[in-house]
Amino acid sequence: MGENHERTSITLDRAAQNQCPAADLEKEKDLVDICRTYDLKQSEVSQWIDAFLNAGKDSLKVNSKDGQAVHQKQIQQLQAKIGELVLEVEARKGWVAIQEDLDENPF
């Protein structure tokens, strides 16, 4: 991890990610040993670790008030949509009731 390497976005296939258990990293095993054990490239595992750490740092940078405001706006939009759908369902129920009345009691 002391290496300097260019940070790039990488696509990790699920099989490769699962080959390197987090438990080995948590035990602070040497990166070289982990790579040898799971037949992985050291640079690839270093990129995974960097991506993980950067995502953690980025999540901590988010202002919680801003996040709450965005979340609250999404909730309001969803509640408005639910209200629209409820009105539509009620209108359709009314239409069905009218149709049934007309079928039972034609003019």
Q: Side-chain half-sphere of 59: how many Cα atoms within 13 Å?
A: 6
Say if residue 81 is in the same domain as residue 57: no
Say if residue 103 is in the same domain as residue 52: no
Number of structural domains the chain divides into: 2
- The structure's pTM equals 0.38
Say if residue 104 is in the same domain as residue 53: no
The residue behind tokens 């919680």 is: 64
- Average per-residue pLDDT in the chain? 77
pLDDT number for residue 92 = 95
pLDDT per residue as tens digits for the range 78-97: 999 999 999 999 999 999 99
Per-residue pLDDT at 102 exceeds 80: yes
Domain range for 102 is: 63-107
CB 3 within 8 A of CB 50: no
Beta carbons within 10 angstroms of residue 80's beta carbon: 10
Say if residue 67 is in the same domain as residue 22: no
Say if residue 71 is in the same domain as residue 23: no
